[in-house]
Structure 1
Amino acid sequence: MVLFSARSVAVFALPLLTAACIGAEIDEQAEELVGEAEGELIAENGQLPNALSLNALSLNALSLNALSLNALSLNSLSTSAKSAIQNPGETGALSRDLLRYVVSCSLRTDQTFSFSWTDSSGVIHPEVYRGDLGYAHWWASNGISNDTYVQNQISACLAARVNWYGISVRISLRNNELASTTAERAEFPVREGAFWGNLFSTTPYVGACYDSVGYVRARQVKRDCAAGHVETNPTTGEVTWQPCGAMVIWGSCNQLCNGIDTNAGYFRGCVTNYFVNPYARTDQVVTTFLTAGP
């Protein structure tokens, strides 16, 4: 099923890396991929079955904001966190965007996070964010400061739902915590890539890798964060790939990840940071899948 994680939000700049490490196999097809934008884009709201998830989380929201570890309750928020989500300006919009997805990833469908904010004209805007995936439904009343496993799962869920273009695309999220049906796997057979990280640690980070075949379809439907956003210099014609905000693209999942689940096709684990330690891996990984398209 799909979640909207619920939990305390505090805004501050994250010292995350911005360098991308993208494999040579993408270079070989650069020209044919540039300009591909047509795809099966579904911009819809509301509940989605299983782990099918909209992904329009702003890359700025992910890169410039972080979450506190207190209980997901308006009364439990710090003064700065409450101020962030009630800010009428751009910072407030980003903070609310992030909170909406945090609630989706963390809480169950029968749980909500409610609050209101007032715009510059004095108009009050009530907000009700409903849970979906339920990674940490107890967060509504208890903090997660001592639960690194949950921190990693929610961070991976958030990273998987970032979209460079700010548009909604239906995707299937899968890992050991997210079940998928036979029908879902049939509709979403293209493995796009994988995401992991921890946005709650003292040194927050998020990483990604791309599937050596699926990244082509990802670019077609404007899902650029696993393989990098293609940009062409209008003067020189040089093609470059930009990461989604602070998300580090480490390369091909086929080289960095292993233990593919024989039933659902997700990676059971990936190397956390190849340059620091090529053997250190994380099992809290979310693998994303796309439709095959026309």
Structure 2
Amino acid sequence: MRLLVTGATGKVGQAFLPAFLREPRFADWSVVALCNNRVIDAADRLSVVKGSVADQDVVSAALSGVTHVLHLAAVKETPDQAIDVALKGLYLLLDRFCQLEDARQFILLSGDCVVGHIFQDYPEPITEQSPRRAYPGVYALTKVLEEVMIEQVGIQSGLNWTTLRAPWIMEKDDFRQAFAFGGEQFGGPPWSTLLDPQRHEQIRAGGYFPAMRDARGSYLKRSFIHVDDLVRAILSSIDNPQAFGQLFNIAMDEPIDYGRVSERVKTVAGLEPADIETPFHSNWLDNSKARKILGWRPEIDLDRLVERAWNYRRAADDPRIIWYPG
């Protein structure tokens, strides 16, 4: 068997490749990594093809001898690249892959942006049957179109596809930096969009933790997943007939409650909670289907997520990386 991985140099790809290569179930598999902006070194059982997924010749070369594809490559709010990478790239991969005699499975990594996460209000837990309702922006739109494209190609061609829909993916100190008030903040929303300058400075300088409230006044609840748990879900899906033709939510068992986070951080780091009103909605990405069908369950809960993030210290050769433009 031969697995093609796109986006192999990204956050998920860099965690996935070593886990895959040391997994006994895949000991006789080879891997080809399709890289563009960043390139990894070839190694035993691992070859590298450099180029864009929007280039049909590059895609054809990368798919030579491939039986499985794991499509991780993505761009964020970059309209000039979104169509090429997200849509043309995926189309070329699917079209060429479906023509291969030994094509067995195509796995797509999607995100909870397709259901709008905190931007859209859902009255019940979000399952795989919940309507797609993207939040504003090109990234969420392209992810919706990717999910639909792979499903429809499956209908047209009989392709064995699997889509894993993940919420905000954490590693190292990401979770701590997501709540930072300076330029080191990871992700969003930018505090300047929620706080006036005086309040922003007061909280930033005073040793506080941002305890966001949702549109109803309760503490915000939002789904997360640690990259290690996501990698285990991917490994559980590869060449698994139970996963063929299926969409799975891959998230923690419960969404993170920002009130509970503030309590844990006060204990761990001594930061006082500072309530921040927001227009966002609390949502719950239901992972029941993945737990039942894949036999997968996340291992990293709120306590372990906080512990890992607040205890992690970056070395000089471990800078924070923006994994995608935008």
Question: Does the TM-score normalized on the shorter chain lie above 0.5?
Answer: no
More strand by share: 1
Higher relative contact order (CA 8 A, sep 6+): 1
Q: Name the TM-score, length of structure 2 as normaliser.
A: 0.23
More helix by share: 2
Larger Rg: 2
